[in-house]
Amino acid sequence: MPGLNLTGLSRASSRRPSARRRKAGAREGGVVLPVRALVALCVACMVFVLLAVLAVLLWVVSLSWRHQQLATTLAHSNAAAAAAAAAGAGSGLSAGAAVGDGGGGGRAMDIEMNPADPMHHHAAPPASPPPPTKSVRRRRKAKPTDLINQQRWQQFYRNIVLIVNYKRPQQMAVTLDLLHSLYGAFFQRILAVSEHGDADLGVMESPVKETGQGHDLPPGSLHYSVLPKLLTWHPMAEGFLWMDDDTVLNYWSMSRDNKSRIWFLGPMHKSWRVASLDPKGGVAGGWGGEGGGGGERGEEAAVKYMEDASERIEESGEALQLLKQAVAQALSHLPPAHLQQYQQSIAPKSNIFLRAASDIFYIPQRHAPAMRVLVPIFADHRIVADVAIPMMLHALEHPREWDGHALTDVIYLTGTDVNTPAKFYSPRVTAMHPWGLSAHHHGSHIIKAMSQGDPLLESTIDGERVGNL
């Protein structure tokens, strides 16, 4: 045909691919892209599997290493126990087998000389047969769970300051070393407070004395006046646990308590007593709320408890009037915020105060600044600890904000029961009072009793130390 440009047509057709070629290209592209993605996915899966296998191998290696360390520790402990038992039996001594203390070392304890042994009587006739030696009490072997519990308790208490209040200063030199042995494995800082300080023993002196100013107060009742200084010295501590020297602390029973809350006895405890600031006496009004998380029934019981006239503070005459005057003056000097909190916590419609056993309590670090303000107010008015401590704690926050489970099962002995404390001891409670370390049998009995809750305790106590109690 004339005028037809075949060259341009051929070029145009060469630029435009045919439908068949376009379909083939689409099929080719649709196959290549999924294959590449599949290969990348497979590579990622292989890398993930390899990492998982590597993590499992590392976990198995660490677990086997830990079991090997525990086995080595137990082997050394049992070997030391056997050696101590053999040595005690061969020399006529009554020795307690030494068990490892969790750090790989063991120490013998309860070593006591047998005065009837002819080895210690040179004039004894050689023909006389030697007296029978005392049987050696073999302690059970340490278990891995015992060591794990030790680590858990250490982790819980290591940043808590333990403050021991010595109401009996004559017992400091005898018992302070043992107290460090009992609790030093868990509390990194143990401080002692007494009426008279002792630099050699590391005992702080109470700045306020119980004697003088017209009437004497019970020993140790104003030692809490040292708290502001101790709280200032340890700003990084999680909290401060106060304990009297005649209190036995079952630390394993408290290792799950809330360290950010106050620990104190609830209002239903038998040690609580209440009184009115009215000079004529009497208890009016009710309880400002449930104590220790007791709910409505707990609040009703607390109201009835406080209205019972037979449960008033056991003071009489001039002593009670002086106490009421001191409490009223202290309340008048409280900062407004703390006074309002105290009234809401105790009795918003009445003017009462209470006395509660304060042999053991815990202050978290968040309340340390407020305690530095409140303590001097009550100490300057010479208010005893059993009244000042519960009043200050109620001025900090309502009892419903305290740890409702801590210190709810403390055993308090009264009357003739104090003569046989071992009879009433239980490892399931938090603490027991009074049980002082004032004699040899008390020291050994306390260690033996506490070993029911901490089987490794006896292995951490030096035998000579116990024998000197």
- List, for residues 150-203, the tens digit of each pLDDT value: 999 999 999 999 999 998 777 787 788 888 888 999 998 999 999 888 887 888
Residues 93 and 212 in one domain: no
Report how far apart, in Å, the C-alpha atoms of 342 and of each of 327, 345, 346, 360 are: 13, 5, 6, 21
DSSP letter, residue 100 = B
How many structural domains is the chain composed of? 2
Residues 113 and 193 in one domain: no
Q: 248: part of which helix (H) or strand (E)?
A: strand 248-249
- Looking at the domain assignment, is residue 238 inside a domain? yes
Least confident span in 83-87, 129-133, 404-408: 129-133
Sort residue 371 into left (φ over 0), alpha (ψ -120 to 50) or beta.
alpha
Check pLDDT > 90 for residue 107: no
Residues 166 and 217 in one domain: yes
More confident residue, 47 or 301: 47
Least confident span in 244-253, 315-324, 338-347: 315-324
Q: Mean pLDDT over all residues of the chain? A: 72
CA dihedral in degrees (447, 448, 450, 454; nearest 10)? Answer: 100
- Which pLDDT value is given to residue 6? 47
- Looking at the domain assignment, is residue 137 inside a domain? no
Give phi and psi for 272, each to the nearest 5: -75, 135
Q: With bands split at pLDDT 50, 70 and 90, how would you rate the model's confidence at 401?
A: very high
User: What residues does 354 pair with on adjacent strands?
Assistant: 274
Check pLDDT > 90 for residue 351: no
- Looking at the domain assignment, is residue 11 inside a domain? no
Residues 183 and 332 in one domain: yes
Q: Residue 76 is part of which domain span?
A: 26-122
Residues 277 and 390 in one domain: yes
- Looking at the domain assignment, is residue 150 inside a domain? yes
**Stretch 249-277: mean pLDDT, rounded?**
81
- Looking at the domain assignment, is residue 275 inside a domain? yes
**Stretch 416-435: mean pLDDT, rounded?**
91
Check pLDDT > 60 for residue 92: no
Instruction: Report the DSSP pairing between strands 189-194 and 203-205.
Output: parallel
How far is it, in rounded angstroms, from Cα 179 to Cα 409? 22
More confident residue, 370 or 71: 370
Single residue among 122, 152, 186 that ends a domain in this structure: 122
Check pLDDT > 70 for residue 431: yes
- Looking at the domain assignment, is residue 128 inside a domain? no
- Looking at the domain assignment, is residue 18 inside a domain? no
Check pLDDT > 50 for residue 410: yes
Q: How many CB atoms lie within 10 A of CB 405?
A: 17
- Which pLDDT value is given to residue 244? 92
Residues 112 and 165 in one domain: no
Residues 51 and 164 in one domain: no
Residues 198 and 161 in one domain: yes
- Which pLDDT value is given to residue 25? 52
- Looking at the domain assignment, is residue 446 inside a domain? yes
Residues 100 and 230 in one domain: no
Residues 83 and 218 in one domain: no
End-to-end CA distance of the chain: 132
**Stretch 407-411: mean pLDDT, rounded?**
87
Q: With bands split at pLDDT 50, 70 and 90, how would you rate the model's confidence at 320?
A: confident
Residues 334 and 211 in one domain: yes
Residues 115 and 238 in one domain: no
- List, for residues 26-52, the tens digit of each pLDDT value: 455 444 557 778 888 888 888 888 888
Q: For Cα atoms 178, 155, 465, give the angle at the middle one, nearest 5 degrees.
A: 10
